Amino acid sequence: MDRRNNLFKFNLSMLNLPKSQKLRSFGVYLAGALYAIGFWSMIDAAIYSKSINASNVHVSIVDWIPFICSTLGMIIVNSIEKSNLFNDNQNSFLSPNSNAWAARVILFLGFSLLAGGLAGSFMVFIVKFLMKDIKFPTLGMGVSNIICNGCIMFSCIILWLSQNIEDEYSYSLAL
């Protein structure tokens, strides 16, 4: 009986993701589409605020900060080479200049920027719109801010998952 050295009974390798090249490219296209939905939702709020907004609440730089944080986080998370992360520490004497810790720190920074973007959009929605009892046509600007950051976060998740799909029939010959 093989001895398992997992911490939990269920681990991620039990979860069989479907593996194919088409699914991978479809996931990348889907991530781009979700990012565009988020971006146009924010643009919609800005144009609405300038053109037919009847109230005196306008979209300012404060509403754009969560979007900028999410986008920066997404760029950071998805531009890291993933093979850096799974280096075992047992070989640390053999390869002393392994940069796994730097990759982990930068990845942590990226994920906290993403989560900070989503939390910031909720904060703008609550502080700027809900606390002042603003009714719905104007409240839509806050809602579209939340939609924007949620879509960017989903886009990042889908891009991350689809980059981890490996083709079944391809053998990695990299040393």
Partner 1 sequence: MNPLNKIIFLSAFLATGFLLILLSGALFNNWTTLWIIFIYLIAPLPNLIASSIENSRDDFLTFSNDHGNNPTSIQEFCRFITGVIVISGIGLPTVLFRCKIIEFGSMLMSIIGGLIVYVDIIIFIWFFSEEEEENDDFNF
Residues in contact with partner 1 by the rule CB under 8 A? 21-22, 24-25, 28-33, 35-37, 39-40, 43-44, 47-48, 51-52, 159, 163, 166-167, 169-173
Nearer to partner 1, 36 or 123 (CB): 36
Query: Min. distance of Cβ 78 from partner 1 in angstroms?
Result: 9
Nearer to partner 1, 30 or 115 (CB): 30
Query: Min. distance of Cβ 47 from partner 1 in angstroms?
Result: 5
Could you tell me what percentage of the chain is helix, strand and coil, using 3-state DSSP and rounding each to the nearest 5?
65, 0, 35
Of the candidates 161, 160, 74, 164, which has an alpha carbon nearest to the alpha carbon of residue 112? 74
3-state SS, residue 71: helix
C-alpha to C-alpha distance for 136 and 21, rounded to whole angstroms = 44
Place of tokens 């994920």: 111
First to last CA, the chain: 32
Query: Min. distance of Cβ 153 from partner 1 in angstroms?
Result: 15
Nearer to partner 1, 28 or 119 (CB): 28
Nearer to partner 1, 47 or 123 (CB): 47
